[in-house]
Amino acid sequence: MTIFEDIAMEENNAFWFDCGPVNSIPPRGARTVRTPRREIAVFRTASDEFFALENRCPHKGGPLAEGIVHGRKVACPLHNWIIDLESGAATGADQGCARKFPVKIERGRIYLDMGVAAPA
């Protein structure tokens, strides 16, 4: 698992962290980004969509970046909870939500908006 160096840039009252190049995350893979406040899992789907969630399963805090990405979901490696990458919500009968973060891709690089995290 690679930890990217976090570099902040300010744009439109948002704080964007440069997470590195798009090709540093393989399709159906994930990496972690350490920020001053938390560790974030950045996911890439097979269809080249990027999502970011706090790297803690809402069940027992499992490291979501170590889970298996399938479609737009990730399976927690501890107890196989399925988390929706777009919303952060646990699916099925499971309850809970991982905090999500906006992602943008510019000039082949991945950026996370740390200014305002979407509500969990």
Give per-residue pLDDT as tens, 20-73: 999 999 999 999 998 778 899 999 999 999 999 999 999 889 999 999 999 999
Asked if residue 45 belongs to a domain, the reply is yes
Phi-psi bin for 65: left (phi > 0), alpha (psi -120 to 50), beta? alpha
> Does any domain span residue 118?
no
**64-114: pLDDT as tens digits:** 999 999 999 999 999 999 999 999 999 877 688 999 999 999 999 999 988
pLDDT at residue 116 in the model: 59
8 A C-beta contact, residue 9 and residue 98: no
| Within-domain flag for 119 | no
Q: d(Cα 58, Cα 104) in Å, to the nearest integer? A: 24
CA distance 120 to 64: 15
Q: pLDDT class for 11, splitting at 50, 70, 90?
A: very low
Please tell me the predicted confidence (pLDDT) of residue 4.
42
pTM: 0.82
The whole domain housing 42 covers: 3-113
Query: Into how many domains does the chain fold?
Result: 1
Q: What CATH code is carried by the domain that includes residue 99? A: 2.102.10.10
29-34 and 39-44 beta bridge pairing: antiparallel
Which residues touch 19 (CB under 8 Å, ≥6 apart)? 4, 6, 31, 33, 42, 109, 110, 111, 112
Is it the case that residue 9 has pLDDT exceeding 60? no
Asked if residue 59 belongs to a domain, the reply is yes
